[in-house]
């Protein structure tokens, strides 16, 4: 614990972080916030503290969030049963109203308030604000689930330039103003790409990409785009990890320098990733051209 360190040891910890602070100062880092770190209250407080700390040392942080469990909870209270196809929520008009209320309303404003209470300056946006995330229908079977067509990133840039932490909920709209539910990982990848982010951090409930999915000690610390086909073929990347890695590849193709898939259940994992040599999770990079 930091409180157990001597003053000299504390000074050494801060000094060791200096090269990383210098590296990321003024750079954009996008955090996709979800999983258990969003449900567990203690983890939620720590994540907000970490984001404010990074903001205070000059990193331009953008927080992109989903909120599946809270959507499911409200649907259950309203007597609606969630339905999924290929891992995506089937979203009829009534469900879309619930999604919009939960994501753009309750969760977004709760996170903004938490960041402010921790000493940050934050403003909430949905993908509908300024047509930030303009969509088309992804699949007729899914209803109001959006495929991102265009990203109008200016609202986010304006907030960053004014010293705020933008907090983006993953609700978009089409050119006719219809609201759409958007996969959170996909939205974060497109936002990070449009910003040319230095790094996209995707918080999950596993350590990262594992050579043996049942053994966290087999974490693969770094993979390149060139290595992905073999990892798909061997089954190392399978199931729910496939769409996450595909989002990583999309972010890289749109201009993000590096993407990290990491375990949001580990306290202060964002700080470990950005401010230490070891990092956290699996980094996905472009590799050699």
Structural contact between residues 161 and 215, judged by C-beta atoms closer than 8 angstroms: no
- CA 167, distance to chain mean position in Å, is 10
Which strand ranges, in their side-by-side order, compose the sheet holding 258-263? 122-126, 165-169, 60-65, 28-33, 199-204, 258-263, 282-285, 222-224
Catalytic-labelled residue, pool 50, 129, 185, 263: 185
Q: Is 32 a residue of the active site? A: yes
Q: Which of 265, 262, 254, 264 is nearest to 279 (CA)?
A: 262
Q: Is 185 a residue of the active site? A: yes
Catalytic-labelled residue, pool 244, 263, 264, 279: 244
Please report where in the chains the tokens 């983890």 appear, as a residue. 43
Helices (H), 57-81: 68-77
**Exposed, middle or buried: residue 87 (CB in 10 Å: 0-12, 13-18, 19+)?**
exposed
Q: Which of 240, 168, 245 is nearest to 202 (CA)?
A: 245
Q: Is 138 a residue of the active site? A: no
Query: Rg of the chain over CA atoms, in angstroms?
Result: 19
- CA 41, distance to chain mean position in Å, is 18
Residue 12 CA to residue 28 CA, distance in Å, equals 26
Residue 73 CA to residue 88 CA, distance in Å, equals 17
Catalytic-labelled residue, pool 68, 124, 146, 184: 68
Q: Which of 226, 260, 257, 261 is nearest to 241 (CA)?
A: 261
Catalytic residues: 32, 35, 68, 185, 244
């Amino acid at each position: 614990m930091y409180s157990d360190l001597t003053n000299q040891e504390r000074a050494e910890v801060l000094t060791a972080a200096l090269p990383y602070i210098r590296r990321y100062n003024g750079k954009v880092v996008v955090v996709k916030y979800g999983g258990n770190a969003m449900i567990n209250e203690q983890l939620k407080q720590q994540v907000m503290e970490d984001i404010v700390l990074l903001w205070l040392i000059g990193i331009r942080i953008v927080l992109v969030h989903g909120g599946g469990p809270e959507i499911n909870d409200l649907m259950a209270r309203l007597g609606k049963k969630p339905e999924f196809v290929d891992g995506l929520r089937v979203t009829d008009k009534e469900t879309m109203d619930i999604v919009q209320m939960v994501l753009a309303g309750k969760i977004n404003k709760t996170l903004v308030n938490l960041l402010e209470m921790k000493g940050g300056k934050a403003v909430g946006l949905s993908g509908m604000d300024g047509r930030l995330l303009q969509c088309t229908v992804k699949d007729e079977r899914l209803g109001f689930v959006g495929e991102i067509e265009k990203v109008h990133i200016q609202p986010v840039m304006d907030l960053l330039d004014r010293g705020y932490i933008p907090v983006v909920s993953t609700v978009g709209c089409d050119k006719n103003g219809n609201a759409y539910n958007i996969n959170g990982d996909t939205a974060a990848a497109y936002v990070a790409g449009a910003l040319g982010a230095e790094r996209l951090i995707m918080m999950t409930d596993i350590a990262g990409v594992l050579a043996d999915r049942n053994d966290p000690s087999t974490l693969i610390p770094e993979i390149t785009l060139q290595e992905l086909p073999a990892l798909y073929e061997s089954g190392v990347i399978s199931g729910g990890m496939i769409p996450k890695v595909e989002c990583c590849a999309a972010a890289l193709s749109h201009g993000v320098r590096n993407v990290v898939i990491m375990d949001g259940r580990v306290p202060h994992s964002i700080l470990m990733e950005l401010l230490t040599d070891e990092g956290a999770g699996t980094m996905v990079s472009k590799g050699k051209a």
